[in-house]
Structure 1
Amino acid sequence: MSDSIADKAARATPPRVARKVRGLSDRAIAWIFVAPTIFLLLAINIFPLIWTIRLSFTDFRANRQGREVEWVGLRNYERILTDSDVWLSMQATAHFLIWTIALQVILGFALAWLINRKFKGNDLWTTIIVLPMMLSPAVVGNFWSFLYQPQIGLFNYVIAFLTGQNASSFDMLGSVDLAPWSIVIVDTWMWTPFVMLICLAGLRSIPDYIYEAAEIDRASQWRQFFTITIPMVLPFLMLAVLFRGIENFKMFDLVVQLTGGGPGNVTTLTSIDLKREAFEKWRTGYASAYAIILFVTVFGLASIYVKALNKVKER
């Protein structure tokens, strides 16, 4: 039995035209699926940001809901920028950022360069090296707090063996001088593999024919390293610095598990100081202004850095 004219016309009509005939275009269908996600992201990110900005201009306290909220204008911002404790936490954060990023980039690149040599057992060693970054920061903090124990900690015995001193004399978490370095060591141990993987991707993206051409021109290994390897891996290194800088600026759980911000305030990073203002002192308006200042600082520095990164990639 032959098909009807209507059936032939339906088969001949392209799917897009058929959907438009039914009243829904491809763009409308796409918006139907995407719109819920967009609204969810706006609700989770944009609304809290706007609410935080509003609270930053008030003396609101979350533990005193019934009291009248006073509009204080820029007073919270002025107090933060003139507070010596805030600047001390900024200094502690800067120390943590500079040293962790520097060590992770140097060690991560060195490990990536070694693994890229493709020796026997390469895959096994790569898996072993990346294990620390798979752990939870809270677990890592607890694990290293035992290693740092003055009486029974393995780390102290290793240092004592290398220096020839008593193991109990090294109190990494209780010493004002050593505590900042204790968190630098742990974060470097945990996140150097992340930088290594990024650098390894950069090294393996360099075509072999470039090195072959350099060997034909009798370029030494050092010359190849500084004129080919470093320039071509530099965008990947800068990307690793960006990721680790943003993550370490908001570092919280690892430091809380290790030192709790002590002894004194030497390891009180801005994230810990912000948490104390918001949930221990309950100065919600003040903490909101604090959070906005940190957000603007990170966003501004990241924007400048991304522009520099784009210029390097365009070379």
Structure 2
Amino acid sequence: MNAPDHPDTVRAAEAAPPPPPRRRGLSDRALAWVFIAPVIALLLAINIFPLLWNIWLSFTNYRANRPGMDVRGMGTGNYERLLGQDDVWESLQHTAHFVTWSLFFQVVIGFALAWLINKQFRGSGLWTTLIVLPMMLSPAVVGTFWTYLYQPQVGIFNAIVGFFTGSTHFSMIADRDLAPWAIVLVDTWMWTPFVMLICLAGLRSVPQDLYEAAEIDGASPLRQFVTITLPMVLPFLMLAVLFRGIENFKMFDMVVELTSGGPGSVTELANIFLKREAFEKWRTGYAAALAVILFVTVFGFANIYVKAWNTVKQR
């Protein structure tokens, strides 16, 4: 065997062609930016730019139906007018009523349905499929469907209420006192299955060993529910409330289909008021200021709620 410094080995090494130059590829960091940059650009174009543009419009007198009009700065004038207008506060009160009661009924009924489905009785899979059907429909379709159910000649709810009130042509959606509750009823019917599915996931994530240990210790079913089930499912419940609260605050299309602008202003939620100011009265800058107020309100409440949710989840 030839030594490394043998003359034949040296001559063979000198006669061999030089190795090809080593290509320098992109680093992992640069490659990551290649894939992330288009997404960031898309988010900036779709989300960030419209938000900044809306904030700028909120300080002007811009009207979308008069593109040639000189845009004049208003300072905080639009915000001052909004905060001093009774119609704005009334629409916010209607929104708070709708969000609060719809969330309450959806959480209570959704958790109860999840508790029953989790028992794994015969036909539970079929019942689960039937229960989740409403959430597969679009809000506009649901609004149109329930509009017919609220007709005096058809609606069973109208017939029940009309029987006690003695009216043969009663309609919940046309009554000033019951119209807000009619909207809550429809939203509860549509989105309770969503809360049920989240609660069902939480119930099925609870280890059975905890229940077995509790039974050995002599804990009653109520005690097991309070000390095991509820604390383990609470993060899932809070997550469902967060999702539904944000969506309900943005409610628009279903309410418009149900009420068609009436009766009066008792069903005029904040987004409906915003639409009227922006696309009926064409006060674009004024409506942009309301949009900023709604965004800050939802963003602030959501951040506080997420911090509380993280605290509960870490326990």
TM > 0.5 fold call: yes
Partner amino acid for 2:136? M
Q: 1:157: how far off?
A: 3.3
Residues 150 and 167 in structure 1, CA contact (< 8 A), matched pair in contact too: no
3-state SS in 2 of match to 1:202: helix
Identify the residue that residue 144 of structure 2 maps to in structure 1.
142
Q: 1:112: how far off?
A: 0.2
3-state SS in 2 of match to 1:210: helix
Q: 1:67: how far off?
A: 1.4
Identify the residue that residue 114 of structure 1 maps to in structure 2.
116
Q: CA 1:193 to 1:68, structure 2 compared with 1: closer, same or farther past 3 Å?
A: same
For the residues of structure 1 that align with 2:238 and 2:84, how far apart are their CA atoms? 33
For the residues of structure 2 that align with 1:125 and 1:100, how far apart are their CA atoms? 23
Identify the residue that residue 229 of structure 2 maps to in structure 1.
229
Is the aligned partner of 1:58 residue 2:54?
Answer: no
Render the CA deviation track for 1:40-71: whole Å, top value 9, x for unaligned: 11100000011011110001101111111111
3-state SS in 2 of match to 1:173: helix
Q: CA 1:164 to 1:62, structure 2 compared with 1: closer, same or farther past 3 Å?
A: closer
For the residues of structure 2 that align with 1:251 and 1:168, how far apart are their CA atoms? 31
Larger radius of gyration: 2
Is the aligned partner of 1:185 residue 2:189?
Answer: no
Runs of at least 5 residues in structure 1 that lack an aligned partner in the other structure: 11-17
Q: 1:151: how far off?
A: 2.0
Identify the residue that residue 14 of structure 1 maps to in structure 2.
none
Identify the residue that residue 29 of structure 1 maps to in structure 2.
31
Identify the residue that residue 254 of structure 2 maps to in structure 1.
254
Residues 159 and 170 in structure 2, CA contact (< 8 A), matched pair in contact too: no
Residues 151 and 167 in structure 1, CA contact (< 8 A), matched pair in contact too: no
For the residues of structure 2 that align with 1:216 and 1:130, how far apart are their CA atoms? 37
Aligned residues: 298
Residues 199 and 236 in structure 2, CA contact (< 8 A), matched pair in contact too: yes
For the residues of structure 1 that align with 2:154 and 2:126, how far apart are their CA atoms? 31
Residues 60 and 283 in structure 1, CA contact (< 8 A), matched pair in contact too: yes
CA RMSD of aligned residues (A): 1.7
User: Which of 95, 99, 102 lines up with 1:100 in the alignment?
Assistant: 102
- 1:131-280 alignment runs, 5 A limit: 131-159=133-161, 163=163, 168-280=168-280
For the residues of structure 2 that align with 1:33 and 1:312, how far apart are their CA atoms? 36
Q: 1:159: how far off?
A: 4.7
Runs of at least 5 residues in structure 2 that lack an aligned partner in the other structure: 1-15
Q: 1:166: how far off?
A: 5.1
Identify the residue that residue 293 of structure 2 maps to in structure 1.
293
Render the CA deviation track for 1:199-250: whole Å, top value 9, x for unaligned: 0011001000000000000000011111111111111111111111000000
For the residues of structure 2 that align with 1:32 and 1:119, how far apart are their CA atoms? 52
Q: TM-score, normalised to structure 2's length?
A: 0.91
Residues 156 and 167 in structure 1, CA contact (< 8 A), matched pair in contact too: no
Residues 157 and 172 in structure 2, CA contact (< 8 A), matched pair in contact too: no
Instruction: Report percent identity of matched pairs.
Output: 69
